Amino acid sequence: MDLNLAMWGLFWGGVSAVSLPLGAALGLWLNPSRKVVSGLMAFGGGALLFALTIELFGHALHRVSDHRGHIEDAGLIAVTMLGALVGGLLFEALNQLLSRMGAHARHRSLLKKHLVNEKRSRAERLIRILSANQVLRVLKETEIVRLARLVAPRRFEPGDVIFREGEPAEAVYFIVSGRVRVDAREGGNKGPVAVLGAGDLLGEMALVSNSPRTATAAAQTGVDVLLLPRAAFDGLLSVSSELRSAVAELVSNRSADLVNRHIVDEQVAAEWAVRRRARLRAIAFHTSDEEIEQEAIRHGGGHGGGSALAIWLGIALDGIPESLVIGMLVAAAAAAGTPMSIAFIIGVFLANLPEAMSSGVTMRTGGMSVVRIMVMWSSLFVLTAVGGFIGTIVFPAHPTGVLEYMVFGLEGLAAGAMLTMIAETMLPEAFEQGGGTIAGLSTLVGFIAALSVKLLH
């Protein structure tokens, strides 16, 4: 191991990552506008795209080409390409896993994506439930999207009473999981009417007929529901003439009992669900600033360490490929007797600065303390510097034989993960913060700026 070379990896890794705590501090202090953050982040993304293209993939092509530019060892390029594919898939898998743990709270764009996916998933669940209800099956796709926005998740533990006989009807419940026992008094004797489960609708009759509850419903097991308040249901009635007609028909014919209302033509219900799902795919789901802020509060680290750890791991996942690539470039520059790629270091520095600014503000909105935010970003600065140190050791200056194939594969792995990170987090965040025009032009300017640095260096 060349300790002097490894220390250069530590140094350049630290230089590229010092913008992490600096950016977080600037974000918390200045609270910059979204357009400023968007422009800076897209600029850094463009610079990184140039640096990766020229310094890594272009460098790999140069190492296996003769003086005429002919590829002498296509196997090394194939290994690099395969490594890049694996790196991208690995990053995406880990990013999805950490996002489910709460790491999506590190970026506004990821918060928005999570909310959109959650709404779409909720709409899919509602379609399954609505397909078995002849009244609500008249809802159109846009009205189902509206319904998905109006319902709220609720949890009942075994034995919890959901509503009691005689109470006013204030909500309808879409059962997502678990079992609910419905009991009613007939002739003074209490007896079971039905046991409802996942995919059933609970409490709609009293709501549509505007009458007190005629039965008591209690959770037999742990029950997850989507709750639709009366006011929201009335709002649906006001915009859907088909729903008003179906409700009026149901109220005028009260002969069917609770059990018979849940006996439906399964084929008709299934066909309806398939049609609605197909049309639902063409509908865009929107989120408001208020919803994004509420999601940030819910997962922003202010209510427990689990989300904070996931956020930290998510940010580390964004930075690890960068630090490994820096280590590789240090080793490669030493082997070729050329200076370190300043264009790449500048690109990483400029990309880290707005990323930390944006994430710092988002995490503060989520309730995370200033001290915790600064400790988190400072620790990532140290981690990135150490990653540059390790990368210099992992990528030897003069690999040969099987080791050379391993090095090319690892280079591709790191580069693929990094390119996926840019496409998955940086550019969508820039677009979310400032819109397409600012993000697009700033990315182009960043690319050209990195090219200029390369030409001058």
Band (51; pLDDT cuts 50, 70, 90):
confident
Same domain, 316 and 260: no
Instruction: Tell me the pLDDT tens digit for each residue of 28-45.
Output: 888 888 788 788 888 888
> For residue 68, what pLDDT is reported?
64
Q: Which of 381, 404, 400, 389 is nearest to 324 (CA)?
A: 389
Instruction: Tell me the pLDDT tens digit for each residue of 273-306.
Output: 777 777 777 777 777 777 777 777 776 544 444 4
> Is 116 part of a structural domain of the chain?
no
Which residues form the domain of 371?
Answer: 3-102+300-456
- Beta partners for residue 152, in sequence order: 227
Whether 347 and 47 have beta carbons less than 8 Å apart is answered as: yes
Same domain, 311 and 276: no
**Greater confidence, 455 or 56?**
455
CA distances from 211 to 57, 169, 191, 243, 324 (A): 70, 7, 21, 18, 66
Please count the helices (runs of H) and the strands (runs of E) in the chain.
18, 8
Instruction: Tell me the pLDDT tens digit for each residue of 396-454.
Output: 666 677 877 887 787 788 788 888 888 888 888 788 777 778 888 988 988 888 788 77
| CATH label of the domain that carries residue 166 | 2.60.120.10
Instruction: Tell me the pLDDT tens digit for each residue of 162-198.
Output: 999 989 989 989 888 899 999 876 545 555 678 888 8
* Average per-residue pLDDT for the chain: 79
Same domain, 79 and 150: no
**Greater confidence, 123 or 134?**
123
Same domain, 247 and 343: no
> For residue 44, what pLDDT is reported?
80
> For residue 347, what pLDDT is reported?
74
Same domain, 340 and 438: yes
> Is 289 part of a structural domain of the chain?
no
Amino acid 426 reads M
Distance CA 371, CA 365 (A): 14
Instruction: Tell me the pLDDT tens digit for each residue of 189-235.
Output: 555 678 888 877 788 778 777 788 888 999 999 999 989 898 888 88
The mean pLDDT value for 262-278 works out to 70
> For residue 303, what pLDDT is reported?
44
3-state helix, strand, coil in the chain (%, to 5): 70, 10, 20
**Greater confidence, 423 or 311?**
423
> For residue 313, what pLDDT is reported?
77
For residue 101 the two structure tokens come to: 């743990």
Same domain, 72 and 201: no
Whether 129 and 309 have beta carbons less than 8 Å apart is answered as: no
**Greater confidence, 132 or 364?**
364
> Is 411 part of a structural domain of the chain?
yes
User: What own/partner pairs with CB < 8 Å and gap ≥ 24 does 376-380 have?
Assistant: 376/24, 376/308, 376/311, 376/312, 376/315, 377/20, 377/21, 377/23, 377/24, 377/315, 378/20, 378/21, 379/312, 380/17, 380/20, 380/312, 380/315, 380/316, 380/319
> Is 140 part of a structural domain of the chain?
yes
Residue 2 has pLDDT above 80, yes or no: no
> For residue 69, what pLDDT is reported?
59
Q: Which of 82, 37, 46 is nearest to 429 (CA)?
A: 37
Same domain, 270 and 313: no
> Is 112 part of a structural domain of the chain?
no
> For residue 160, what pLDDT is reported?
94
Strands ordered across the beta sheet of 223-229 = 152-156, 223-229, 171-177, 201-202
> Is 33 part of a structural domain of the chain?
yes
Same domain, 147 and 213: yes
Distance CA 150, CA 227 (A): 9
The mean pLDDT value for 236-247 works out to 77
Residue 359 has pLDDT above 70, yes or no: yes
> For residue 260, what pLDDT is reported?
47
How many CB atoms are located within 10 Å of the residue 139 CB? 22
Instruction: Tell me the pLDDT tens digit for each residue of 383-397.
Output: 889 988 888 887 766
Distance CA 147, CA 152 (A): 10
Band (363; pLDDT cuts 50, 70, 90):
confident
Q: Give the chain's domain count.
A: 2
> Is 88 part of a structural domain of the chain?
yes
Most confident among 5-14, 109-118, 122-131, 286-295 (mean pLDDT): 5-14
CA distances from 131 to 253, 270, 277 (A): 20, 7, 11
Q: Of 282, 312, 328, which residue is a domain's last? A: 282
> For residue 304, what pLDDT is reported?
43
Same domain, 349 and 403: yes
Same domain, 158 and 74: no
Whether 417 and 95 have beta carbons less than 8 Å apart is answered as: no
For residue 185 the two structure tokens come to: 């008094």
Tokens 């009026």 identify what position? 248
**Greater confidence, 140 or 9?**
9
Share of the chain above pLDDT 90, in %: 10
Band (251; pLDDT cuts 50, 70, 90):
low
Same domain, 209 and 314: no
Same domain, 315 and 448: yes
> Is 46 part of a structural domain of the chain?
yes
Distance CA 414, CA 395 (A): 11
**Greater confidence, 5 or 22?**
22
Distance CA 121, CA 116 (A): 9
Distance CA 315, CA 363 (A): 12
